[in-house]
Amino acid sequence: MKELVEFLCRELVDDADAVRVHEAFDERGPVYTVTVAPGELGKVIGRGGRTAKAIRTVVRAAATRQHVSVRVDFED
């Protein structure tokens, strides 16, 4: 899942090398925290959060196939 989150976010930003995905676990499953270069968070979140919602939907769909609950967060 981490690779999928990283791939999706890298394709959206100009500085793909600055994309970092931190994986942590809580009682519900893995939590992926995405950080990007300064000024590029808007490209990952999108207008009204539509892009972020789409990323979360794709990752959750892939996680459902593996019977895992996943959460994706974005940080500045």
Across the chain, mean pLDDT equals 94
Q: What is the pLDDT of residue 11?
A: 95
Distance CA(74)–CA(53), nearest Å, equals 11
Classified by CATH at the fold level, domain 2-75 comes out as GMP Synthetase; Chain A, domain 3 (3.30.300)
Q: What is the pLDDT of residue 76?
A: 78
Write the pLDDT tens digit of every residue in 28-61: 899 999 999 999 999 999 999 999 999 999 999 9
Nearest Cα neighbor of 70 from 16, 34, 20, 41 is 34
Distance of alpha carbon 19 from the chain centroid? 10
Sheet arrangement for strand 71-75 = 20-26, 29-35, 71-75
Name every residue whose Cβ is closer than 8 Å to that of residue 55 and which is 6 or more positions away in sequence: 5, 8, 9, 44, 72
pTM score of the predicted model: 0.91
Average of per-residue pLDDT across 53-73 = 94
